[in-house]
Amino acid sequence: MKGNRRTPVAELSESGAGDEVIMSIAGHVSRAMLSRYSHVRMEAKRRALDEIAARQRAADEKRKTEAERREQAAVLSQSALVQ
């Protein structure tokens, strides 16, 4: 791999390829060299964590909505029994 190595190395890293595989493909002889060209890992980690947080918020909202629906159904059921 010659020329701009950062993009291919970043793409390999973000695809989940292991360090040894990336080092072999890119011709890196040390982890320090790999580190230099794969600095975008932190950005990829942030995106992954943001995605997990967004999914968690969506799941929390769904649970909240379902709980509210159950509560409303219980109130309606109680109202029907009283009448």
Which carries the bigger pLDDT value, residue 10 or residue 60?
60
CA distances from 6 to 1, 17, 40, 53, 73 (A): 10, 15, 9, 28, 57
Tell me the pTM: 0.49
Q: At 58, is the pLDDT very low, low, confident or very high (cuts 50, 70, 90)? A: very high
Residues 6+ apart with CB under 8 A from 37: 5, 6, 9, 10, 26, 28
Q: How far apart are CA 20 and CA 82, in angstroms?
A: 70
Residues 15-42 pLDDT 10s = 888 888 888 888 888 888 877 776 666 7
